[in-house]
Amino acid sequence: MKILVIEDEQALLESILAYFTGEGNICEHVSDFAAANEKISLYSYDCILLDLGLPGGEGLELLTKLKQLKKRDGVLIISARHSLDDKLAGLDLGADDYLVKPFHLSELKARVSAIIRRKNFDGDNVIHFNEITVDVSAMKINVKGNQVILTKKEFDLLVYFLSNRNKVVTKNAMAEHLWGDEMDLSDDFDFIYTHVKNLRKKLLEAGSADYLRSVYGIGYKFGDI
Amino acid sequence: MKLSNRYNKANILTSIVVLIITGIIYYVVIHFILTEKLDRDLAVEENEINQYVNTFHKLPLPASYLDQQISYKTLSGIISEREFLNTIYFNPKERENEPGRSLITVVHLGGKTIEVTITKSRVESEDLIRIILLITLGITVVLLLSLLLINRFVLSSLWRPFYSILNRMKAFEVSRMDTIEQEPTKIDEFNELNKSVNAMAERVRQDYKELKSFTDNASHEMMTPLAVINSKLDSLLQTESFTEQQGALLEDIYHATGRLSRLHQSLLLLAKIENNLIPDFQNIELKEMVEAKTRQFQELLEKDRLILTKDLAPVEVKMSRYLADVLLNNLFSNAVRHNVSGGHILIKLNQQGLTISNSGNPGHLQTKIFDRFSKSVESEGMGLGLAITKQICNLYGFCIDYHEESDEHVFTVYFGD
């Protein structure tokens, strides 16, 4: 996957690049409006991570530019502005999603993966991981030919894990992904444990290997053993 | 008491007193003058009789003219004093008794003492006094009436600019960017008031704007470092060479940053609601939303073994979907957070309002629960949830009420006043 990160905050940019690089992903990055403008004109990307507040120009103009060039790049806006107007304007101009800073890298990855899946497979929205096959649009999971029945939350959790395979995902990030960050949850995310436990049990019963590991009590990691 | 009423009262009372006193003085003085004139006339008549007696040595005929009667009476012995007095006499022309003024005097004729009574009619002077009294009364009434009318219409129209300025001041909201308009008036005092009010409003607005833009900028600038901290933590977590102890430390940092960013978002949201910057105003099926919310909170309810009872009627309200979600979130979180293990939550929704009551420890919610950063000691929240809820209610003209009854905390949002 080819990803362009347009972000002027160097520290944040480095983190995003580190998190996304690997697994066959190619990440490019620019830090100002002019360079971003040049990149999107010359190349095509599976997904563009766009920060709205850029030195040298307004990020939303890049969206207009993409539209003019009739490009099909997926665009995820990352912005410090938690404003409904910006969000609607961005989505109107053809952005696929909108994420407000601060965010969890795992959430960013999950959203980018979802955008790329939607763009690339046009309806045939399937994730493969070793013996596990997940048909995201049909909400079907297949392990070694066995159908696995999951609840909505368990399904979302599995897709989230698969988007962040081999990464440690915090309980906090999982809770925000499943219940939304508006919920003002308490800091006690133990109730997530039940869902993780059930998901793991169902996958094991269907014959998958045990890919889920708890990490330091902070979160979980789903990945190759 | 209104200024004009107060003024009216003083004005009218003074007018009445002054007019009454004037009337009395008028009456007394005119009465005195007229009586004086009658007495002079009577004295002239007496003089004439005396001259007649001195010249002709006999009494003139006891004539009764138009308004004048003369009668004689021979006195024996007692000589009465010369005196003026008010009497009633018979007027043969009018054939009725009329009030009169009499002069009783004596003349000496051939050694006899004769008492002469001269009577003149007082009717004319009485009439005059009556007319004067009536005119005075009439003027009094007309004056009072015109005073009342002036007060009623002129004063109220004079004060109109004042009340209109007052109303504008009452309606003034610093967050709304409308100006207090100049009220056209020719009265200097009101013009000055108007100018001062406008200047004050302008100053307040300016200060508010500066504060607001500072808050906005500070918020946005703060979001970026927070995003960096969060992403660095996520990256740090991937390096995977931690001891259990370091893991616990990491978790604490996560919690703190999570809290900070939530706090931040809550403050921003609060500012946005206060400034009415949330535009998506639409019809919301509240029942469906409550149902969805209970599903969303399922895990939290199960964790504390809370029993949820619902009594929902289909209700439609006009508000932002986003804010409706925030409102329900806050009320639900509150009901879960301030509950006891194995307790219950009751949700009632009807046309009047939405009531969420939950079991809980008695008395640990104070009266200031809707204030910012007010929270109970054991609360894990930030103390902003209910402040936001209250602001949302204010924005849409809803009314939120909290009370405690038999170990139950009851929150009610009334749609409409």
DSSP state string for B194-211: HHHHHHHHHHHHHHHHHH
Which helix H or strand E contains B79, and what residues bound it? none
User: Across the interface, do B254 and A182 touch by the CB < 8 Å criterion?
Assistant: no
Nearest residue on chain B to A189, alpha-carbon basis: B300
Predicted pLDDT at A204: 92
Measured CA distances, A135 to A34, A85, A117, A129, B356 (Å)? 40, 34, 11, 12, 40
Residue A16 identity: I
Q: Is A117 found in the same domain as A162?
A: no
Residues 6+ apart with CB under 8 A from B57: B109, B110
Q: Is A105 found in the same domain as A52?
A: yes
Show residues of chain B in contact with A191, CB under 8 Å. 299-300, 302-303
B151, two tokens? 């007060």
A15–chain B nearest CA distance, Å: 6
User: Across the interface, do B234 and A82 touch by the CB < 8 Å criterion?
Assistant: no
Rounded Cα–Cα distance for residues B369 and B373 (Å):
9
Of A106, A121, A136, the residue that ends a domain is A121
A125, two tokens? 């929205």
| Runs of H (alpha helix) within B113-187 | 123-149, 156-171
Nearest to B50 by CA among B118, B129, B144: B118
Rounded Cα–Cα distance for residues A159 and A173 (Å):
14
Q: Is A46 found in the same domain as A27?
A: yes
**Dihedral through CA B169, CA B171, CA B175, CA B177, nearest 10?**
-80
Q: Is A105 found in the same domain as A130?
A: no
Rounded Cα–Cα distance for residues A74 and A182 (Å):
26
Per-residue pLDDT for B2 more than 80?
no
Predicted pLDDT at B129: 81
Q: Is A76 found in the same domain as A7?
A: yes
Rounded Cα–Cα distance for residues B411 and B331 (Å):
8
Rounded Cα–Cα distance for residues B399 and A44 (Å):
53
Rounded Cα–Cα distance for residues B217 and B227 (Å):
16
pLDDT digits 0-9 by tens, B240-261:
778 888 888 888 888 888 888 8
Nearest beta carbon to residue B385 from set A168, A173, A184: A184
| ∠ Cα B52 B53 B55 (to 5°) | 65
* Least confident range of B86-95, B200-209, B325-334: B86-95
B155, two tokens? 């004063």
Nearest to A23 by CA among A45, A52, A47, A2: A2
Say what the ipTM of the complex is. Answer: 0.85
Q: Any idea what DSSP says for residue B153?
A: I
User: Across the interface, do A191 and B303 touch by the CB < 8 Å criterion?
Assistant: yes
pLDDT digits 0-9 by tens, B325-352:
889 988 888 888 888 888 999 999 998 8
Q: Is A61 found in the same domain as A110?
A: yes
B241–chain A nearest CA distance, Å: 10
Task: Compute the average pLDDT of residues A81-110.
Answer: 82
Of B203 and B2, the structure prediction assigns the larger pLDDT to B203
A69–chain B nearest CA distance, Å: 31
Of A78, A93, A121, the residue that ends a domain is A121
Tally of domains in chain A: 2
Q: Is A94 found in the same domain as A166?
A: no
CB atoms within 10 A of CB A167: 22
Show residues of chain A in contact with B224, CB under 8 Å. 9, 12, 80, 101
Residues in chain A: 225
Q: Is A105 found in the same domain as A139?
A: no
Percent of chain B with pLDDT over 90: 7
| Pairing status of strand A140-143 against strand A132-135 | antiparallel
Nearest to A219 by CA among B93, B60, B234, B408: B234
Domain that holds residue A189: 126-222
* Least confident range of B41-55, B95-109, B194-208, B366-380: B366-380
Task: Compute the average pLDDT of residues B137-149.
Answer: 85
Q: pLDDT category, B290, cuts 50, 70, 90?
A: very high
Which of B228, B234, B278, B386 should one mutate to test binding to chain A, selecting the residue with the greatest count of A CBs within 10 A? B234
Residue B116, classed as helix, strand or coil, is strand
Predicted pLDDT at B113: 79
Q: Is A198 found in the same domain as A212?
A: yes
Sheet holding A132-135, edge to edge: A126-129, A132-135, A140-143, A146-148
Of A191 and B284, the structure prediction assigns the larger pLDDT to B284
Measured CA distances, B335 to A212, B14, B227, B324, B357 (Å)? 34, 66, 31, 17, 7
Task: Compute the average pLDDT of residues B26-35.
Answer: 87
Nearest to A163 by CA among A202, A128, A196: A128
Of A82, A98, A121, the residue that ends a domain is A121
Q: Is A137 found in the same domain as A116?
A: no
Predicted pLDDT at A27: 92
The region, left, alpha or beta by phi > 0 then psi within -120 to 50, assigned to residue A213 is beta
Q: pLDDT category, B164, cuts 50, 70, 90?
A: confident
Mean pLDDT of all residues in chain B? 82
Residues 6+ apart with CB under 8 A from B114: B59, B72, B73, B74, B75, B106, B107, B108
Residue B224, classed as helix, strand or coil, is helix
- DSSP letter string, chain A: -EEEEE-S-HHHHHHHHHHH-BTTBEEEEE-SHHHHHHHHHH---SEEEEESEETTEEHHHHHHHHHHTT---EEEEEES---HHHHHHHHHTT-SEEEESS--HHHHHHHHHHHHHHHHHTT--EEEETTEEEETTTTEEEETTEEE---HHHHHHHHHHHHTTTSEEEHHHHHHHHH-GGG---S--THHHHHHHHHHHHHHHTT----EEEETTTEEEES--
Query: B168-180 burial by CB neighbour count: b if 16+ within 10 A, else e?
Result: beeebeeeeeeeb
Q: Is A213 found in the same domain as A153?
A: yes
Per-residue pLDDT for B107 more than 70?
yes
Residues 6+ apart with CB under 8 A from A220: A161, A168, A169, A171, A174, A196, A212, A213, A214
User: Across the interface, do A84 and B279 touch by the CB < 8 Å criterion?
Assistant: yes
Looking up residue A134, the CATH number of its domain turns out to be 1.10.10.10
Of A198 and B1, the structure prediction assigns the larger pLDDT to A198
Q: Is A113 found in the same domain as A10?
A: yes
pLDDT digits 0-9 by tens, A45-82:
989 999 887 888 888 888 888 888 888 888 999 887 76
Percent of chain A with pLDDT over 70: 92
Predicted pLDDT at B348: 92
Nearest beta carbon to residue A217 from set B247, B255, B280: B247
Per-residue pLDDT for A182 more than 70?
no
Nearest residue on chain B to A195, alpha-carbon basis: B299
